Chains A and B, each alone.
Chain A
Amino acid sequence: MTLDKLKGLEELNQLSFSEDEKSSVIKIFENMNENEKILGEYNTDNTDVMVHVMPMTNVLREDVRKQPFSRDDLLKGAPEHTEDSWQVPRLVK
C-alpha cells in the first residue's frame, strides 16, 4: 500500500484519514498482505466459490404490492428534507 493508492481508496470510499492514521493504515496493509499469502498455498483450481454457506435456491416472493411505511415517517429522521423529499446540495450548477 502506498500513500498514493491510499488516496484513491479514500476517495472511492468518501472518507479521509489524518497523516498519523495513514501510517497506521499502511501498517495494517503490510500485515494483511503478509497474511494473505496463506491463501495462495491452497489450490482452488477445481473448487468453486462459496458465496452462501447454506445451499438454497429460488427464494422468491410473489409480485404483490404493499406500502406499510409512510413517507412522513421515512423523512422524519432525515438531516435535511422538504415535505416530500430528501435534500442535498445541488448537484448540477
Chain B
Amino acid sequence: MSYYVTEIDTKGNIAVDDTLLVKDVLSTAGSHILEGFAPLFSAEVVERVQKAGYTVSGKANVGEFGLDLVGEFSNKAATKDGSLVGAAAQLVAEGSVKAALGVDLNGAPRRAAALSKVNFIKPTYGTVSRYGVIPCACSGEQVGVYAANIADLKQVLSVISGHDDKDGTSLQHDSYDYDTDLEVKGTKVCIIKELLSSADDSVKASVSAYAEKLRKCGVVVEEVSFDMVNAAQTAWQILMAAETCNNLSRYDGVKFGYRTPNYNNIDELYVNTRTEGLNFLTKATIIYGSDVLSKGRYNDCYDKSLRVRRLVVEQIKKLLGDFDAILTPVCSKAEYKPYDIAEAFTKVFDESRYTAIANLTGIPALVSGGVQLMGSYFDESLILSLAKCVERVSE
C-alpha cells in the first residue's frame, strides 16, 4: 500500500503532508476540491529542508484539510491490520523516510504518531513558519516533525524553525538551539488526572509505563487535577471550526481546483462545487464554525472562547510553573477502527480532548512512546530530553 498521494523521488528521505505546498507538485490537502492544484511556490519548511540537503520523497496522504483523526477521510485512507493509520507516521515507522513534516491543527499528526509508535513534535506556536501551509485554523496550527527517534526529530526541527518574514506571526528568533541532553534528574512532571480517567485501560497502562520510565530517569511524576480540560477542548473546537469555515470559503470553483460540471449560474457553481468537492466532516465543521460566528452567537461562543483561551493560558502557565512538563495520553484508545463519516465530527471532537490544549495555547507538545509530553513555551529542549531519556531506558 502506498501512503503517498503523489510520489516525487523514490530516493527521498523526507515525506511531507499533503497540506504543505511543494512547488509544481499536486497539493490537495486530501480534498477533492483541490483536484489538480499545483502551487507556484513551496512552503517555507519545504524550502528549508531542501536547502539543508534533504530530498522530499512525496506528498503523504492526509484527511481532508487535516480535520479527521489520522487521515481516514481522504483520497487515499490507509489501514494496517484493519486499524486506521496516518500515512506520514507510517512512512517513518516503516523506515521509508528518515522524517516527515506534518501540519497539526487539531491533533491528527500526534494521534497518528502514537498509533504508528513514532515521534511527532508540534513546536511552540510562531517558531515555525506557516508560509505554504494550506490553512485551516491559523491561530493554533503549526508545522511539526515526525521521526523514528529523538535525535532525528531534533535535527529536522532545527532546520525548519526560525523567523520568516513571509509569516506575520513568525517570532523574531532566527533559529532555536534545541538540546536533547538536558539533565532531567530531579525535574517534575505531572499527569493530568482528567485526561487519564477518560482514556481506555490500555492507554492508562502505557501512560503509567511511561511514567515509570521517567522515574527511572530520576524524574518526579505526580498526578494533578487541571479543571480546564473540557473548556479548552470546547474553546478550541469553536475557534478551529470558525477559522476553518473562513479559510475554506475560498474553495469555490472559480480560481483553481475542482469546478462542478453542474451549474447554470454563479450560485449553482458555488453550491455544487462545494457540496461535491468537500466531505461531510469538512462541511459540518464549516457549518458549525459559521454558526459560532453568527450575530446571535458570537459573544457567547467565539468571543467567549477567545477569553477562555486566555484563562487556559494563564492556568497552563501556572501548572508549568509548578511542574516542568505535563504527561498525558494523546488518544483515548490504542487503535482506531474505520467508522462512518457521519460520526466523524463528534469522534474527532472527543479525541481532541487530549490535543486541544496545545493548539489552543500554542505550547509545544511531543508524542513519543505513544504518550504526550507538553512543556512551557520555547521549552522543547526539556520535553525532548525527557523523551530521549525514556528512549534510552527502553533500549
Name the interface residues of B35-62: CB closer than 8 Å to any CB of A. 36-38, 40
The complex places the Cα of A16 from the Cα of B309 at a distance, in Å, of: 32
Contact B306 A13 (CB under 8 A): no
Residue-wise interface mask of A (25-40) relative to B, using a CB-CB cutoff of 8 A (1 in contact, 0 not): 1011101100110111
The complex places the Cα of A61 from the Cα of B170 at a distance, in Å, of: 13
The complex places the Cα of A36 from the Cα of B241 at a distance, in Å, of: 13
Determine the residue in chain B with the shortest Cβ distance to A41: B231
A9 on the B face (CB < 8 A): yes
The complex places the Cα of A74 from the Cα of B40 at a distance, in Å, of: 8
Nearest Cβ distance between residue B22 and chain A, in whole angstroms? 15
Contact B255 A28 (CB under 8 A): no
Chain A residues contacting B231 (CB-CB under 8 Å) are: 38-39, 41-42
Chain A residues contacting B245 (CB-CB under 8 Å) are: 13
B311 on the A face (CB < 8 A): yes
Contact B256 A77 (CB under 8 A): yes
Name the interface residues of A31-68: CB closer than 8 Å to any CB of B. 31-32, 35-36, 38-42, 44, 47-54, 56, 59, 61
Contact A16 B254 (CB under 8 A): no
Interface size on A, residues (CB 8 A): 49
The complex places the Cα of A42 from the Cα of B232 at a distance, in Å, of: 11
Residue-wise interface mask of A (51-93) relative to B, using a CB-CB cutoff of 8 A (1 in contact, 0 not): 1111010010100000001000110011110000010110100
Contact B234 A38 (CB under 8 A): yes
Contact B238 A36 (CB under 8 A): yes
* Choice from A28, A51, A91 contacting B284 with Cβ under 8 Å: A28
The complex places the Cα of A33 from the Cα of B288 at a distance, in Å, of: 10
B192 on the A face (CB < 8 A): no
Contact A49 B269 (CB under 8 A): no
- A44/B308 contact (C-beta < 8 A), A52-B169, A61-B165, A77-B38 known: yes
A4 on the B face (CB < 8 A): no
B346 on the A face (CB < 8 A): yes
Contact B310 A89 (CB under 8 A): no
* Choice from B165, B258, B304 contacting A44 with Cβ under 8 Å: B304
* Choice from A25, A27, A47, A80 contacting B311 with Cβ under 8 Å: A47
Nearest Cβ distance between residue A13 and chain B, in whole angstroms? 5
Contact B288 A32 (CB under 8 A): yes
* Choice from A29, A50, A61 contacting B307 with Cβ under 8 Å: A50
Chain B residues contacting A25 (CB-CB under 8 Å) are: 284, 287
B301 on the A face (CB < 8 A): yes
Contact B125 A53 (CB under 8 A): yes
Chain B residues contacting A89 (CB-CB under 8 Å) are: 263-266, 269
B391 on the A face (CB < 8 A): no
B235 on the A face (CB < 8 A): yes
B212 on the A face (CB < 8 A): no
Nearest Cβ distance between residue B160 and chain A, in whole angstroms? 17
Chain A residues contacting B129 (CB-CB under 8 Å) are: none
- A6/B287 contact (C-beta < 8 A), A54-B171, A79-B254 known: yes
Determine the residue in chain A with the shortest Cβ distance to B229: A38
The complex places the Cα of A74 from the Cα of B313 at a distance, in Å, of: 41
Contact A15 B274 (CB under 8 A): yes
B2-10, B106-114, B275-283 - the one binding chain A: B275-283
Residue-wise interface mask of B (207-248) relative to A, using a CB-CB cutoff of 8 A (1 in contact, 0 not): 000000000000000000000001101110110000001000
Residue-wise interface mask of B (318-335) relative to A, using a CB-CB cutoff of 8 A (1 in contact, 0 not): 000000000000000000
The complex places the Cα of A36 from the Cα of B300 at a distance, in Å, of: 9
Contact B126 A13 (CB under 8 A): no
Chain B residues contacting A78 (CB-CB under 8 Å) are: 254-256
Contact B342 A29 (CB under 8 A): no
* Choice from A12, A20, A49 contacting B306 with Cβ under 8 Å: A49
Contact A50 B313 (CB under 8 A): yes
* Choice from A14, A20, A53, A73 contacting B313 with Cβ under 8 Å: A53
A10-B287, A31-B346, A52-B169 are known; give 20 further A-B pairs, CB within 8 A: A13-B249, A17-B280, A21-B342, A25-B284, A31-B349, A32-B234, A38-B231, A39-B234, A39-B308, A40-B304, A42-B231, A42-B311, A47-B307, A49-B307, A53-B140, A74-B40, A79-B258, A88-B269, A89-B266, A91-B266
| A-B pairs with beta carbons under 8 Å apart, 13 shown | A15-B271, A15-B274, A21-B342, A24-B280, A32-B349, A35-B234, A42-B307, A49-B303, A49-B307, A79-B257, A88-B266, A89-B266, A91-B266
What are the 6 closest A-B residue pairs judged by CB atoms, nearest first?
A79-B259, A53-B362, A49-B306, A44-B307, A50-B310, A14-B270
